[in-house]
Structure 1
Amino acid sequence: MDSVGVGLIGTGFMGKCHAIAYTAVATVFGLPRPRLELLCDVDEALAAEKAAAFGFARATADWRALVSDPAVDVVSITTPNALHPAVAIEAARNGKHVYCEKPLALTLTEAEAMAAAVREAGVKSLVGYNYTKNPAVAHARRLIEEGAIGRLVHFRGVFDEDYLADPELPHSWRMERAKAGSGTLGDLASHLINMAQFLCGPIEAVMAEVTTMHAERPLAEGPAGATGKVENDDTVSALLRFRDGFSGSLTSSRIAWGRKSRFAWELHGSAGMIAFDQERMNELQLYQARGPKAEQGFKTVLSGPAHPPYGLFVPAPGHSLGFNDMKTVEVAHLLRGLAGEETLYPDFEDALATERVMHAVLRSAEEARWVALD
């Protein structure tokens, strides 16, 4: 496996996560150290500052220069959602592999164009649904495949945070459809949809409702008392039908006081269930309906070296992994995928299936009816 040249666009929360992962992946996984070639942000001074801090060799304020740079092999996209399509498509046309944060795009047409561009260029892609890279989640999937809880009969998921619970928090690009697209749906519930697909298979129909509870928010700049309209959803609720013949549900809110990252799901089977909560991300709850009734109960499975690749980070159970570690697992998967050693998941085609469900949710909410997936 050759060293890979990295170009990173965006230096916010997720941009820093990517930089940390690229820096850590060689130490943790023993892979060739990626070459941090070029970093881009809209402000040239900020780009230079972050390049020095993140360990990139060069900086630019021109993303087109980055996606055409001959030293860059893979482009990491951590920009606001509206910029994903243009950057990803241009990168693919320049022969670059593309590693993009979710959601893919604001519209289904744009998402389809991104998948087509990657396919036509013959480059590889990966989308940042990194919660599936948790060793505890990988173990849950193994348990399902081994029949530990029998036949799947129901999925239930919730993803709540309180980062916009305060109605006095100022308006931002995240509330504008032209920049963010959907709100809670794209930011949080998309992870639930992807996780449901990862664990349960394809979703074939949805019935949904979305709400905007804080319709106006104060402007960060401007006259006192001025407000801006919140154009997208604060909460999402949906019923699901899976292709394999069972049902599910999901709810998500960005205005849920007290919830920091309650990405929680339950998988009910004919012989037990599995439960997980991201706020306790190193634990898996397993219930198996066997043995004496008086002795049946939930078992807490604590992540440790028996759940790869946990042991590459720390040799002792109970010492716990964190969010950035999941990103390092994801980057290791990316590098192995680029080397042809693993099949990348979710690539743009896989993420497009998630996008189709998201847009079916919006259509269902608008039309107040069940919407079937093609």
Structure 2
Amino acid sequence: MVRIGIVGCNYGRLVLLPAFRLDPRCEVVALAGRDAARTAELAGAANIPRAFGNWKQLVEHPDVDSVAIATTPSLQPSIAIRALELGKPVFAEKPMAADLVGAEAMTRAAETSGRTAMVDFNFSEVLAWRKAKALLDQGAIGRLRHVEVNWNVENYSTRMRLKNWKTLGADGGGVLGNFVSHCFHYLEWFCGPIVGMSTRLSGLPDEPALETTAGISMMFRSGAAGNLAMSCASYLGSGHRLEFYGEDGTLTLVNDTADYMRGFALNVGRRPAGVMTPIEVVDEVDLAFPSDGRIAPVSRLAAAFLDGVELGQVTSASFVQGLRVQVLLDMARRANDLGRWLETGPEIMERRL
């Protein structure tokens, strides 16, 4: 039985807790937050045996075998590195850190420890996305020509004009860290390595410091092109739409609901057909959690994490992948600041470690 401690009382309690509890191989034994009294109250309500007002107390407790982290990017490296120093596997959030230095340090710590280390990139665990990936890999639309991503939502931090990591790029967040980190991961998962990009970042017209909008053009090693338009300042936004255009057809994933993970409709059209055909995908796990579409995909990552812990292996969404995303985030911000196209490739990873 793997005894897990969760650092973070919001996403950690609302999503990671039920996701890990779906797997009988583990038990969530501790919760840590910034406010000891509030954390104790929340832990008690969730039937978690131990509560701490300090992450170090949780990480260093002998009854905690593995650590799941749901904190700000700037704090995450300290927690992950300490846990790995103690030989405890780590399930971390995206983005890994506020900058490349933190992400590199986390990755080195994971390699030194030899313990399982995973980043919670969860879109690739949505079953409709898995089916889309399989179809693309099978050549359902032929060679990819270009991909378009449009993601328009309004998140709570933007609506309330909160100055926190989710709105401030300097803290490793803003629209890049909070949302585009997901996009970079899933775009390379679907399409292969990104080798160049240009970026335009902006904020609210009357409060530009709140980073809310990104427009990114990119090229993939395959020769396919991509465009990403993301805004978390879109009241009643159109949702999340991915369009893949190939030589022989088109594939789309479209979610016009307010739920980030649930609601994606998969459609495919192939020459010479003149219409798109819907592909139905049913997620039985998701049906058990009607209030939050994030739990089902995260539960699959949790299961993969526990597989790694049991076998002593790294997992598919390892810290190396997290570092790769951090490299792309850094490149996107530099492309915006410099106002020009930048090029890179996966070989840069060899120079980062």
TM, length-normalised to structure 1: 0.84
Of 309, 330, 337, 1:359 maps to 330
1:259 is displaced (CA, Å) by: 2.2
Q: In the aligned structure 2, how far is the partner of 1:176 from the partner of 1:6?
A: 31
- Equivalent of residue 281 in structure 1, options 263, 287, 295: 263
Counterpart contact for 2:144–2:246, Cα < 8 Å = yes
Tell me which amino acid in the other structure corresponds to 1:367. Answer: L
2:126 is aligned, of 116, 131, 134, to 134
Counterpart CA distance in 1 for 2:301 and 2:316 is: 9
Q: Indicate whether 1:250 and 2:248 are aligned.
A: no
Equivalent residues of 2:166, 2:177 under 8 A apart: no
1:270 equivalenced with 2:270 (yes/no)? no
CA distance in 1, matches of 2:169, 2:67: 25
Rounded to whole Å, the distance in 2 between the matches of 1:12 and 1:321 is 13
CA distance in 1, matches of 2:280, 2:267: 9
2:351 aligned residue: none
Distance 1:298 1:14, change over 3 A: farther
> Shift of residue 61 of structure 1?
1.1
Does the residue aligned with 1:297 lie in a helix, a strand or coil?
A: coil
Structure 1 residues 136, 366: CA separation in 2 closer, same or farther (over 3 Å shift)? same
Q: What is the CA distance between 1:43 and its match in structure 2?
A: 0.8
**1:253, distance to aligned residue in structure 2 (A):** 0.9
- In 2, the alpha carbon distance for the partners of 1:158 and 1:18 equals 27
Q: Shift of residue 342 of structure 1?
A: 8.1
Determine if contact 1:210/1:235 at 8 Å carries over to the other structure: yes
The answer to whether the 8 A contact 1:182-1:232 is kept is: no
Task: Give the one of 106, 115, 119 matched to 2:111.
Answer: 119
- Find the counterpart in structure 1 of residue 189 from structure 2: 198
What pairs up with 1:184-263 in 2 under 5 angstroms? 184-214=175-205, 216=207, 231-259=209-237, 262-263=239-240
Deviations 1:212-263 (A, max 9, x none): 22454xxxxxxxxxxxxx6452111111111111110111111111128x23
Corresponding residue to 2:308 among 337, 347, 366: 337
| Structure 2 counterpart of 1:96 | 88
* Aligned 8 A contact 1:209 1:237 in 2: yes
Query: In the alignment, is residue 41 of structure 1 matched against residue 33 of structure 2?
Result: yes
Cα deviation code 1:263-290 (max 9, x no counterpart): 3211111111211124363521111113
Alignment RMSD, CA only? 2.4
Q: Does 1:303 align with 2:281?
A: yes
User: What corresponds to 1:21 in structure 2?
Assistant: 19
Shift in CA distance, 214/124, structure 1 to aligned 2, threshold 3 Å? farther
Tell me which residue corresponds to 1:220.
Answer: none
Moved more, 319-328 or 197-206: 319-328
Q: Distance in 2 between matches of 1:150 and 1:343?
A: 32
Distance 1:234 1:368 in 2: 18
- Give the fraction of aligned pairs with identical amino acids, expressed as a percent: 26
Structure 1 residue runs of 5 or longer lacking an equivalent are 217-229, 305-309
Q: Alignment length, in residue pairs?
A: 339
Q: Which moved more, 1:195-204 or 1:13-22?
A: 13-22
Which residue among 273, 294, 317 is the counterpart of 1:323? Answer: 294
Change (3 A) 1:238 1:313: closer
Contact 2:180 / 2:230 at 8 angstroms: preserved in 1?
A: yes
Could you say what secondary structure the match of 1:236 adopts?
strand
Paired letter, 1:51:
A
Q: AA paired with 2:166?
A: R
SS of the counterpart of 2:250? strand
Three-state SS of the structure 2 residue aligned to 1:248 is strand
| Counterpart in the other structure of 1:50 | 42
Aligned equivalents of 2:263, 2:240: Cα separation in 1? 9
The one-letter code sitting in structure 1 at the alignment partner of 2:15 is: C
Letter in 2 for 1:338: V
